[in-house]
Structure 1
Amino acid sequence: MCYDDGIIRQGECVLCGIDEAGRGCVCGSMFVCGVLGEEVALENLGIKDSKKLSESTRQAIAKELQSLAQRDIIAYHIVEKSAQQIDCVGLSLCLKSALAEITEHFSAKTQRFVFDGNTTFGLTLKAPHTLRTIIKGDSKHLLIGAASILAKVAKDTQMHELHALYPHYGFDTNKGYGTKAHTQAILRYGYTPFHRRSFALARSFEF
């Protein structure tokens, strides 16, 4: 599918799908990824919402996507926003900044950008470039789905690395999200330098 004057139409065209991983975590970075290409190039990879795929399947698809990028069939760009950046300016500004970086990175190669969700966080592009949103886009649009997988694999990789440094928090399984066991670990051991201190426990967890 392709966007043309706000209408979805069938056909091949180059555009950029964008999604993020780690937005709701209490530990680690948020990763925002843009994937540039034609949907037809991704049709047989088993791409869908990254949350509906196993970790091993996401990793396998990510390797396929990386291979496509090495052959210049697609291109991708990942932006990392650290816990410190999120604590400093907030999630919304971090997402706006990441979207701005991705759209600028690919602006010479496409005029069309689609982002999973219902807001662009105040970012507007100069014509003829457009940035549109699609609710549940990671399950409806292959390029957004590919972006969600690459972002999630980047997030999971980071959390495995942090698990090696801080095994008490169970980052290998919770991936930084606010599970009950993760909450209890924070209460017992305190915050690591990679926790988002702006995410108050009272808001983030249920007891």
Structure 2
Amino acid sequence: MKTDYENAVIVDDSDENEEIVVLPKKMKATKSRIQQPILKKYYNEDSSIYEIGVDEVGRGPLFGRVYTAAVILPKDDSFDHSRVKDSKKFHSKKKIEEVADYIKQNALAWYVSFEDEKKVDEINILQATQLCMHNSILEVRKQFNKKLKEKGKEERKDYSYFLLIDGNYFNPITYLNKTTNRIDTFPHVTVEGGDNKYTAIAAASVLAKVERDRYIEELCNANPNLIQHYGIDSNKGYGAKRHLDGIKEHGITIWHRRSFGICKSFT
């Protein structure tokens, strides 16, 4: 006997990355697994090129810090790439924190940076994000160089770096190459939707999101009015209706970005 699916309704059960097919009349609902996109492990498989995945979280909110992370993953089977996905696809705090811990324990190096709302207002969100990314990249490079030097390797002689940047814009980083005593630029590529294409970028998005969410949680715990007046605990500072209504009624706080949207009216 054939099943009539013509009047079926699809309900997204995003916590489980599954679809529930709700059938008409008395037919039972069933679940079908949605296949997650397979992320690419590397941009270049050359093991002497260490790829630094870079992503940001918090460019769009009206409130608080912007965070960036830089991550170097091993180019071998020691890292389980299947555990990592775009941070926006996690709907469980416990799960994303578990994955963040796994990344920290198994990455070759990682670093998370932030710039606060004052810096965002001072130099604009694009430049603040670039500054933050540069800091994350330079710090993760410093951290990893130290590890490699302990193994007897010399920078730019036995290995090199390549940057995988989420988005469509990146201000290149120049630095002094101590081996050649010349000013060099890190080679890079920008990838739109990169956190849904490359594991290293997705890993960076996970670390940045977990750190920003913790910052929001700590700020709300210390300042209950952020929850009561603006619902910051749930909207994370984005322009949700409750947040906008709260600004209209109570004005802005010291953590709001005065150069953003409705906040401009209160400066």
Give me the TM-score of the superposition, normalised by structure 1: 0.83
The secondary structure found in structure 2 opposite 1:76 is strand
Task: Report the Cα distance in structure 1 between the residues aligned to 2:80 and 2:140, rounded to whole angstroms.
Answer: 22
The secondary structure found in structure 1 opposite 2:83 is coil
The answer to whether structure 1 residue 161 and structure 2 residue 161 are counterparts is no
In structure 2, the partner of 1:15 is 51
In structure 2, the partner of 1:5 is none
Q: Note the C-alpha offset of 1:176.
A: 0.9
Task: Report the Cα distance in structure 1 between the residues aligned to 2:216 and 2:259, rounded to whole angstroms.
Answer: 19
Task: Report the Cα distance in structure 1 between the residues aligned to 2:239 and 2:218, rounded to whole angstroms.
Answer: 18
The one-character-per-residue Cα deviations of 1:4-44 (angstroms, maximum 9, x if unpaired) are xxxx4446553210000011011110001001122554434
Work out which structure has the larger RCO, using CA pairs closer than 8 Å and 6 or more positions apart in sequence.
1
The answer to whether structure 1 residue 113 and structure 2 residue 154 are counterparts is no
Flag the structure with higher helix content: 1
Q: Note the C-alpha offset of 1:104.
A: 2.3
The answer to whether structure 1 residue 58 and structure 2 residue 96 are counterparts is yes
The secondary structure found in structure 2 opposite 1:194 is coil
The answer to whether structure 1 residue 140 and structure 2 residue 197 are counterparts is yes
- Contact 1:48/1:145, CA 8 A, preserved across alignment: yes
Identity of aligned residues (%): 27
The secondary structure found in structure 1 opposite 2:84 is coil
In structure 2, the partner of 1:49 is 86
Deviates more, 1:111-120 or 1:125-134: 125-134
What letter matches 1:98 in structure 2? C
Q: Alignment partner for residue 242 of structure 2, among 166, 181, 192?
A: 181
What letter matches 1:172 in structure 2? D
RMSD: 2.2
What letter matches 2:161 in structure 1? Q
- Contact 1:96/1:123, CA 8 A, preserved across alignment: no
The secondary structure found in structure 2 opposite 1:95 is helix
Question: Structure 1: which 4+ aligned runs deviate by more than 6 Å?
Answer: none
Q: Note the C-alpha offset of 1:202.
A: 8.4
Q: Alignment partner for residue 91 of structure 1, among 125, 128, 148?
A: 125
Give me the TM-score of the superposition, normalised by structure 2: 0.66
**Which entry has the higher C-alpha Rg, 1 or 2?**
2
In structure 2, the partner of 1:67 is 105
In structure 2, the partner of 1:190 is 251
What letter matches 1:185 in structure 2? G
